[in-house]
Amino acid sequence: MDMASNTRMMSNSSAASEDEGLTLSPPDPRALAIEARGLVKSFDGTRAVDGVDISVPEGAIYGILGPNGAGKTTTLRMLLGIIDPDEGIRRVFGHDRPHDIGRLIGYLPEERGLYPAMKSIEAIAFMGALRGLSLAEGRRRGLELLERHDLAYAADRQIRQLSKGMAQTVQLLGTLVHRPRLVVLDEPFSGLDAINQGKLERMIRSLAEEGVTVIFSTHVIHHAERLCEGVAIIAGGKVPYAGSVEAARDRIPAQVRLETRARDGDWTAALPEDTRREGDFFYFPLPEDGVEPLLRQLIEGEAGILSLSIERAGLHDAFVSIAGEAAARQLEADAAGGQA
């Protein structure tokens, strides 16, 4: 999608809001919640982010996938207006300055932070107040959210009295209390146990079902693969791929796995040239004309087909193909480190 078409799409929806006293129209699935073009950010002469382009449609779950130090947090901070890019443009719901629509955004930073002496309910209400809710309304909604997450009993407990997991949940609820239209989560799964990771995944899906755009950074491929419609793969401050997860996987041809009774025979000549054999299995890329002609020749050659499966490439394979082996190894190391 080119810049012009993006701009046209925005002009139909939220971009128009600037002229109309920031009144926002209902979400348009074709419109962009986030648009970034050529974002560059350097720190002390080092380019942390080097020409990042991202487009996140409204209502999508979008992942920014990359190893630690790839520039994920810096990119998110630029998108949120915490820091300004040295070059490039960023637009959130068509606005150049994200603070102008702070009420529409919820942000959970990677470094969890709450005032330890505050009560849970007050912490949620305070985070809502930062986004424009009155304290009374924040408390009311906060209590509702705590009840929904079975934490109502902790409403009057100070943050310092909560477990780490409970405090993280309270902060997440504070991120959502003002009912944002865009939720940005920086490494949201980091530090959570498997049960809480599952809860968070469900929460992200339910937000998307309500039309909320969710963008999160992660170095764990399977979170991105399970949740995201779109993904930006980031490595070394650059984004070599940004698009749908499906398209990323489709960049690598599907693999055929064949198991035969016969070990050898004339039928092997029918297999593609780049077939490799591993034990009882043959592996080769899915032929362009499909498997039917090949199947015919295998049957005629009495190969004795025991099994044949077509395996689509996973996001991991796509990541290796796009970002390279080194980035993939670092990603795996980060993920292993995060889980241990």
Partner 1 sequence: MNAQHTNDAHRADLDAKPRLTRLEAAWVIARRDFVAVLFSRAFLFFLIGPLFPVLVGGLAGSIGSQVSKETTVIEVGLAMSAEDNAAMIAARDQLAPKLRGAIPALRAVEEAAGNADFDARAFMEARKGNFAAIVTGTVDKPELIGTEGQVRRWQGPIELIAASTAADAPLVFPQSTRQTVASSAASERKNRIRTAQAAQMVMFLLTMLLAGMVLSNLAEEKGNKIIEILAAAIPMDAVFMGKLFAMLGVSFVGIFVWGMLGWGFWAIAEDAIITVTNTDFRNLPGPAVGWPLFIALGIAYFSMAYLLLGSLFLTIGAMADTVREVQTLSMPVTMLQLMVFFLAAATLTDAGSGLEMVAVIFPLSSPFALLARAALEETLWIHAAALAWQAMWVALLVKGGSMLFRKRVMKSGGAGREKKKRRWGLGSRGGRGGRGPEAREPQLEPAE
Q: Which residues contact 276 (CB under 8 A, 6 or more apart)?
A: 282, 283, 284
Interface characters, 90-109, with partner 1 (x: CB under 8 A) = ---------xxxxxxx-x-x
Among 119, 139, 176, 187, indicate the residue that binds partner 1 (CB under 8 A): 187
**Least distance in Å: CB of 144 to partner 1?**
12
Q: Which helix (H) or strand (E) holds 334?
A: helix 325-339
**Least distance in Å: CB of 43 to partner 1?**
4
Return d(Cα 338, Cα 340) in angstroms, integer.
6
Select 158 or 255, whichever has its Cβ closest to partner 1. 158
Contacts with partner 1: how many residues (CB under 8 A)?
Answer: 60
Window 65 to 84, contacts with partner 1 (CB under 8 A): 68-74, 77, 80-84
**Least distance in Å: CB of 258 to partner 1?**
42
Return d(Cα 315, Cα 304) in angstroms, integer.
33
Token digits for 304?
């004795």
- Which pairing describes strands 182-186 and 105-108: parallel, antiparallel, or unpaired? parallel
Q: Which residues contact 336 (CB under 8 A, 6 or more apart)?
A: none
Q: Which residue has the tokens 């995201």?
A: 228
Select 96 or 246, whichever has its Cβ closest to partner 1. 96
Token digits for 302?
């009495």
Q: Which helix (H) or strand (E) holds 92?
A: strand 87-92
Select 34 or 294, whichever has its Cβ closest to partner 1. 34
For position 198 contacting partner 1 by CB under 8 A, the verdict is no
**Least distance in Å: CB of 9 to partner 1?**
19
Interface characters, 16-35, with partner 1 (x: CB under 8 A) = -x----xxx-xx--------
Among 40, 50, 51, 129, indicate the residue that binds partner 1 (CB under 8 A): 129
CB-based burial label for 295 (10 Å; 0-12, 13-18, 19+): middle
Q: Which helix (H) or strand (E) holds 195?
A: helix 194-209
Select 43 or 153, whichever has its Cβ closest to partner 1. 43
- What are the distances in angstroms from CA 147 to CA 6, 7, 134, 155, 212? 41, 42, 20, 9, 21
Among 7, 50, 88, 112, indicate the residue that binds partner 1 (CB under 8 A): 112
- Which pairing describes strands 238-244 and 230-235: parallel, antiparallel, or unpaired? antiparallel
Among 9, 10, 31, 48, indicate the residue that binds partner 1 (CB under 8 A): 48
For position 326 contacting partner 1 by CB under 8 A, the verdict is no
For position 203 contacting partner 1 by CB under 8 A, the verdict is no
Interface with partner 1 (CB under 8 A): 17, 22-24, 26-27, 43-44, 46, 48, 68-74, 77, 80-84, 99-105, 107, 109-118, 126-127, 129-132, 164, 178-179, 181, 184, 187, 191, 209-212, 337, 340
